[in-house]
Structure 1
Amino acid sequence: METFVSNNVEIAYSDFEPFGEDRQEPIVLVHGFASTHAVNWMFTQWVKTLTEDGRRVVVFDNRGHGRSEKLYDPAQYSLDLMASDIANLMDHLSIARADVMGYSLGARISTVLTLAKPERVRSLILGGIGQYLVQDAGLPSGLAEAMEAERIEDIDNSMLKIFRGFAESTRSDLKALAACVRGARKALDPASLAGITCPVLICVGTRDDVAGDPSPLEPLFPNVRLVDIPGRDHNRAVGDRIYKQAVVEFLAARP
């Protein structure tokens, strides 16, 4: 991976060139909480799928995650700052406009980017996020404390225990993640989504209790399509073939 500096924070990224002669517009992928570019997009074959579709693919590790700089002040993890990291990376790579796909926390960050800089986002793809985009502050209550628990066995809530186990499996910096939780908890104003006029695709697993029901989002976006990912929960929906097929078709059809 290469690195660049965004708002005085070192961000690690990779830039993949498309295969074939039929080159399409670039796409930026934004991973979820406690994940990395590799876990979210490489191991699941997303980069392969999209580069074979003729697209330049940019992936990166969010601040506090993966190979990017770790920070321990919650103020350094505001959604506005994390969204600006995407815009700054696009500037660094001389990408004026791109399709942007985010998963879970990455979807929330991508939405904030689109609201702040609509001219930079050709289309917005949201995975693993439903009604909690606007009905909750995002990351579950008690998650910071779960990251700070001395042992995973000390966590009583089953969902929080799953998050902690995932964070351990990705070898994350748990203190940095706790700061991220505290800084990134923010509910988005439902009325603000009417200002997102680019095409939007929302893909959520039918067993995804973390994302919530995506149907309440449908009337909030002017130009949106919802896709169910049958039988998949929050973690297993990420690499699902139906999700990939929906994205490839959406990118081909959007203006």
Structure 2
Amino acid sequence: MSEAHRISKGSFRASDGCALVWHEMGRGRPVILLHGLFSNANVNWIRFGTAARIVEQGYRVIMADLRAHGESSAPHDPACYPDDVLARDCEELIAHLGLSEFDLGGFSLGARTTVRAVVGGLRPDRVILGGMGLAGLAGWSGRRDFFLRAIDAYATARRGDDVWMAIQFMKTMKVDLVAARLLLGTFADTSPQALKAISMPTLVVCGADDEDNGSPCELVAALPDAKLATIPGTHMSSVTEPALGEAMAAFLGPPS
């Protein structure tokens, strides 16, 4: 492994005492990436080479393990799960690292968290929203209820049930069901009108067969300065595609 591709790890305490972990690779201008629901930084960004493709452009890629995911804490205290807690954690990570200029992106839950952080006032120079459509931001309740049903059926679901694949992924990732249920209640909807706050250049990148979070075309139309990159795959498989990292690296271009 080259020095540029060496992975390091850090941790810090959020304002409520929750221990949060991040992983990073490369040197240069910072790009912060947030993974999807029930995943982690390794699965979403490292294992299939997405982070490495961005590093090769000359970036420092910082990849958080979100609260209740990966190596970060998964507390069972409801007080640790206020509204928009993941956006707050993102802001606190950026403050902890002392970053003033950076790009920010995420996949699925990470894209939702990115949007909530920017709507809340965070100002990255550029934004990447992966695996996301307009309905995934403005109509979260349907997705939330699906995942709550998956948690409820964790031990009883049968092959062929609509929640079966989600449950298998949760089992593979050893998801803490108590923490996951608490976290699912923290996400707020974002109206199309509120998306006007995302005025910086934005890439929406989505699998050709992925409408789990609604239409990416509708999301692009609702954003002031966005373009769409369509890559192969479904919601689950698109993160394994080299095209994901290639699209993100092409959007970012060489650091100025």
**Normalised TM-score (structure 2):** 0.88
| Deviation, structure 1 residue 32 | 0.7
Give ranges in structure 1 of 5+ residues lacking alignment.
none
Superposed CA offset, 1:19-67 (max 9, x none): xxxx4x2100100100011111111212211222210111111101111
When residues 177 and 156 of structure 1 are mapped into structure 2, their CA distance, relative to the original with a 3 A threshold, is: farther
RMSD value over aligned CA atoms? 2.2
**Normalised TM-score (structure 1):** 0.88
Q: How does 1:87-166 map to 2 (within 5 A)?
A: 87-119=91-123, 121-137=124-140, 139-153=143-157, 157-158=161-162, 160-166=163-169
What is the letter of the counterpart of residue 149 of structure 2?
E
Of the three residues 170, 178, 182, the one matched with 1:175 is: 178
| Deviation, structure 1 residue 154 | 5.3
Identity across matched positions, percent: 26
Conserved 8 A contact 1:149-1:155: no
Q: Does 1:5 align with 2:13?
A: yes
Aligned to 1:187: 189
How many residues get paired? 246
Structure 1 Cα separation of the partners of residues 83 and 111 of structure 2 = 11
When residues 32 and 205 of structure 1 are mapped into structure 2, their CA distance, relative to the original with a 3 A threshold, is: same
| Deviation, structure 1 residue 10 | 0.9
Structure 1 Cα separation of the partners of residues 149 and 53 of structure 2 = 37
Superposed CA offset, 1:58-107 (max 9, x none): 11111011111112355634552211111111111111121111000110
| Deviation, structure 1 residue 248 | 1.1
Aligned to 1:225: 227
When residues 252 and 137 of structure 1 are mapped into structure 2, their CA distance, relative to the original with a 3 A threshold, is: same
Aligned to 1:17: 26
Give ranges in structure 2 of 5+ residues lacking alignment.
1-8
